[in-house]
Amino acid sequence: MAANQSSPRPVLSIIAPVYNEEAILHELYRRITEVMETFGEPWELVLVNDGSWDRSYDIMLELHEQDPRVHIINFSRNFGHQIAITAGMDYAQGQAVVIIDADLQDPPQVILDLVAKWREGYEVVYAIRRERKGETWFKLWTAKMFYRLINKITGVNIPLDTGDFRLLDRKAVDALRQIREHHRFMRGLSVWIGFRQTGVMYVREERFAGETKYPFRKMLRFAMDGITSFSYLPLQLATYMGFTIAGLSVLGIIMTIILRLSGSHAFEGQATTLVMVLFLGGIQLISLGIIGEYLGRIYDEVKNRPLYIVDEAVGFERHHADPTRR
Ligand code: UDP
Ligand code: MG
């Protein structure tokens, strides 16, 4: 194809990870094109199909046929939300990218607010949830506790009540692309890279259709990834507990000697011994488990497998994305 026939290089890339969202894709496309009418410069929509087994991929191909600004990365299987976002950034061609959930919980009109801040010169503009509709109290509460905990124990200050909905300037995208760790916690990493950062407020809507792809088990994994990739505190807990318990035992020894010398028969029973042994055994197993969590993650990093495998990439002009590139 002659160069002058190709579409202009997009200024903004909108990245949406998709896992079984057949009920949503048409509406997502409609809402995004509607909002982007007012943007006035070339843009692309990068849909990352994270191993959906419903009709999502067929719908994506239809959308691409209708509108060549729709570009698709089709994974060979499900690699997970955070990896899908990463692939989107690897392939995105824009001078800035916006990461948005496919389920329309992040309203597309907020993109314009993000862009306005970008035009003011910020490299990272995150969207802060002022209100969240249609979530269970349990999800709201655990999310709140999680962000407060992670900010307490990690060195990076993740802005409270933000998700992955954010705009990243090309500089920030290139910085993030250099980070190839497997257990990725993108909202932490995008703070870690630095640059000028700011936030805009928005109301998080209910899911447009379908149900959450983050069951409790996955959320827990995600939380563990967030904590372990930014903090050693869980590992250090063993040391703290060790010192505390050792300190207490010294007191116990002194007390026992005094009691024995004064002829007391307290603490003679086996129950005390048994309870103490079980208690310590529990603490030791927990500590081992914590070490295991880190060890497993180290193992995953050392194997150095590619982060994802692409079955097909549709519609991209420049294949500057090479997953094997470090
Ligand atoms: N998602 C994905 N891969 C997964 C799980 C989720 O690409 O393994 C996508 C999903 O399609 C959606 C986004 O990540 O666009 C957020 O997921 P979801 O809305 O289910 O999470 P929640 O908003 O309930 O936390
Ligand atoms: Mg959602």
Q: Is 225 in the pocket of ligand 1 (CB under 6 A)?
A: no
Same domain, 114 and 159: yes
Distance of alpha carbon 217 from its chain centroid, rounded? Answer: 15
Task: Give the pairing of strands 70-75 and 43-49.
Answer: parallel
Same domain, 260 and 313: no
Same domain, 23 and 126: yes
Same domain, 121 and 202: yes
Counting atoms of ligand 1 from 1, which one is nearest the CA of 85? Answer: 7
Q: Is 103 in the pocket of ligand 1 (CB under 6 A)?
A: yes
CA of 83 to the centre of ligand 1 (A): 11
For residue 256, give the 3-state DSSP assignment.
Answer: helix
Same domain, 245 and 122: no
Question: Which one of the ligands is nearest to 50 CA?
Answer: 1
Same domain, 62 and 146: yes
Indicate the pTM of the whole model.
0.83
Q: What is the CATH number of the domain that holds 145?
A: 3.90.550.10
- Whether 226 is in a domain gets the answer no
Q: Is 125 in the pocket of ligand 1 (CB under 6 A)?
A: no
Same domain, 180 and 252: no
Cβ(88)–Cβ(118) under 8 Å?
Answer: no
pLDDT in tens, 105-157: 999 999 999 999 999 999 999 998 887 777 788 888 888 888 888 888 887 88
- Whether 5 is in a domain gets the answer no
Same domain, 88 and 186: yes
- Whether 2 is in a domain gets the answer no
pLDDT at 318: 58
CA of 20 to the centre of ligand 1 (A): 9
Same domain, 72 and 52: yes
Q: What is the Rg, in whole angstroms, of the alpha carbon atoms belonging to the chain?
A: 25
Same domain, 197 and 105: yes
Q: Which domain holds residue 159?
A: 12-218+306-317
Q: How many domains does the chain have?
A: 2
pLDDT at 229: 87
Same domain, 128 and 271: no
CA of 122 to the centre of ligand 2 (A): 26
pLDDT in tens, 266-309: 766 777 787 788 888 888 888 888 999 899 989 999 998 999 99
Which candidate, 30, 17, 25, places its Cα nearest to that of 55? 25
Counting atoms of ligand 1 from 1, which one is nearest the CA of 213? Answer: 20
Dist. CA 9–CA 42, nearest whole Å: 7
Residues with CB under 5 A from ligand 2 (ion): 101, 103, 105
Same domain, 214 and 242: no
DSSP assignments along 147-180, one per residue:
HHHHHHHSSS-PPTTEEEEEEEEHHHHHHHHH--
| List of the chain residues with pLDDT < 70 | 1-6, 267-268, 318-326
- Whether 325 is in a domain gets the answer no
Query: How do the residues of the chain divide into helix, strand and coil, expressed in percent and rounded to 5?
Result: 50, 15, 35
